Amino acid sequence: MAHEGHNAPLSDTALRVKALESLLVEKGLVDPRALDAIIDAYETKIGPHNGARVVARAWVDPEYKRRLLRDATAAIAELGYTGVQGEDMVVVENTPEIHNMVVCTLCSCYPWPTLGLPPNWYKSAPYRSRAVSDPRGVLREFGVSLPEDVQVRVWDSNAELRYLVLPMRPEGTEGMSEEQLASLVTRDSMIGTGLAKTPEKRAA
Amino acid sequence: MNGIHDLGGMHGMGPIAPEPNEPVFHEEWERRMFGLFITIFAGGHFNVDEFRHAIERMDPADYLESPYYEHWLHSAETLLIEKGVLSRKELEERKARLAREAS
């Protein structure tokens, strides 16, 4: 995994990380192979495609949706998504009247088992500062403009509780399979900074 | 604690600028830092509240200017030193040796 070539000098930060890893391996506190396996899991297995399956199931199965809105942690675990930073989940439902959006103003809390690791903008000062004071302005930056009569609710995550948005099922998706529906569910639609894709956009 | 991390409602932080098709990690050191954090966290060397508190104790200017996973690095170094798992001197010496080997 040597992405830095021999001719590229390591940054001070990269050297600090290398020094830390090297010392912890030497002290027997870290197994480099375990580290590789963890990194691989978060790069290839754990990501928004997991959350998309949860959303698609809720769209096709009203009983599942009821369970999801009542006890999200248990309903998400039914599909096999459990673990670090998903221990206590709350799912908030978008409706024609209410749009939900999630932020972590204090840091970077995010539901890892369903969405993977957060994108940089989610952890950045601009998003964290403005999501709570100007959510409609933030949504416009993401290309989402909501009618004025739609209420916007912003949920501030914390270390104990993580939120996932259940986006609205797009029009014209009757008869689509659960798998096809999952492909319409974007990461941003589950953070609330986007909407689910329409079938035309998916084909494009 | 009302520190620099408490960003909700603050003005003047600029546009959000999401990156299209953003990779999970941008640099190799971010990838290693993430794996290191999970491993030492699982090893019970600190809990999540201690980890966040150590980030919140960062110098405010450094906090705003440094990339996200550098916050994790700062916190891991701080806590492992405070708990006596390793020392600042060990880290500095190892870093200097690795820099010599890399050049």
Full DSSP string of A57-108: HHHH-HHHHHHHHH-HHHHHHHTT--STT-SSEEEEE--SSEEEEEE-SSS-
Region of A175 please: left (phi>0), alpha (psi -120 to 50) or beta. Answer: left
Q: Which amino acid is at A173?
A: T
The answer to whether B70 faces chain A, any CB pair under 8 Å, is: yes
Chain A neighbors of B29, CB-CB under 8 A: 10-11, 13-14, 17-18
Spatial contact of B45 and B85, defined as CB atoms under 8 Å apart: yes
Note down pLDDT in tens along chain A; length 204 residues. Answer: 444 445 567 899 999 999 999 999 999 999 999 999 999 999 999 999 999 999 999 999 999 999 999 999 999 999 999 988 888 999 999 999 999 999 999 999 999 999 999 999 999 999 999 999 999 999 999 999 999 999 999 999 988 899 999 999 999 999 999 999 999 999 999 999 999 999 986 655
Q: Which residue in the block uniquely carries the two structure tokens 């050191």?
A: B29
Is A152 in contact with A192 (CB distance < 8 Å)?
A: no
Q: List, for residues B19-72, the tens digit of each pLDDT value.
A: 999 999 999 999 999 999 999 998 899 998 999 999 999 999 999 899 999 999
In whole angstroms, how far apart are CA A198 and each of A52, A152, A186, A194, A202?
14, 21, 11, 12, 6
Residue B13 has pLDDT above 80, yes or no: yes
From the list A3, A30, A105, the residue facing B28 with the nearest CB is: A3
pLDDT score at B1: 61
Nearest chain B CA: its distance from A66 CA (Å): 31
Looking at residue B19, what is its pLDDT?
93
Long-range contacts, stretch A70-79, CB < 8 angstroms, 24+ apart: A72/A164, A76/A113, A76/A114, A76/A164, A79/A50, A79/A53, A79/A54
Closest-CA residue of A relative to B78 is: A20
Contact check, Cβ <8 Å, B24/A30: no
Name the residue of chain B whose CA is nearest to A116's CA.
Answer: B24
Q: When comparing pLDDT for B97 and A86, which is higher?
A: B97
Q: What is the pLDDT of residue A203?
A: 58
| ipTM of the complex model | 0.94
Please return the burial class of A145, using the count of CB atoms within 10 Å of its CB with bins 0-12, 13-18 and 19+.
exposed
Question: In which band, very low, low, confident or very high, does the pLDDT at B76 lie, cut at 50, 70 and 90?
Answer: very high
- What backbone torsions phi and psi does residue A90 show, to the nearest 5 degrees? -130, 130
Q: In angstroms, what separates the C-alpha of B87 from chain A's closest C-alpha?
A: 10
Q: What is the rounded CA–CA span in Å between residue A33 and residue A61?
A: 41
The answer to whether residue B38 neighbours chain A at the CB level (below 8 Å) is yes
* Residues of A classed as catalytic: 104, 107-109
Distance from CA of B59 to the nearest CA of A (A): 15
